[in-house]
């Protein structure tokens, strides 16, 4: 992908988070449940509580990339409704990793 290519992002992406499933996945990946998993659970709730969307041009994109790096990306992407928003998010994540 050309690094100068503009990526048009939708203003909203529908995400369904099963926090118990996320917590368990973090545990299975070796995170200590009394620290890291609870921190991510809190962080997710804090972001979702602010706005309807956690996809934006600023720290929220970086936050999503951090999450993808922390838990299995297959599981995380399965929580996003299919459609142009999901496609744009995948494209953005790939673009960020290639920087």
**Is residue 10 domain-resident?**
no
pTM: 0.30
**Is residue 23 domain-resident?**
yes
**Is residue 90 domain-resident?**
yes
- How do the residues of the chain divide into helix, strand and coil, expressed in percent and rounded to 5? 60, 0, 35
DSSP type of residue 72: -
Residue 71 contacts residue 25 (beta carbons within 8 Å): yes
Residue 1 contacts residue 94 (beta carbons within 8 Å): yes
The pLDDT mean for the chain works out to 59
Residue-wise pLDDT tens digits, 38-47: 555 565 555 5
**Is residue 53 domain-resident?**
yes
Residue 55 has pLDDT above 60, yes or no: no
Q: Write out the residue range of the structural domain in which residue 28 sits.
A: 19-98
| Count of domains for the chain | 1
Residue-wise pLDDT tens digits, 4-29: 556 565 555 555 556 666 666 666 76
């Amino acid at each position: 992908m050309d690094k100068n290519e503009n990526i048009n992002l939708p203003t909203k992406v529908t995400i369904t988070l099963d926090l118990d499933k996320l917590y368990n996945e973090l545990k299975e990946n070796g995170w200590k449940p009394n620290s890291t998993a609870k921190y991510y659970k809190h962080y997710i709730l804090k972001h979702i509580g602010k706005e309807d969307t956690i996809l934006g041009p600023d720290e929220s994109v970086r936050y999503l990339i951090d999450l993808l790096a922390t838990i299995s990306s297959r599981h995380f992407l399965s929580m996003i409704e299919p459609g142009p928003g999901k496609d744009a998010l995948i494209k953005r994540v790939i673009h960020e990793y290639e920087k």
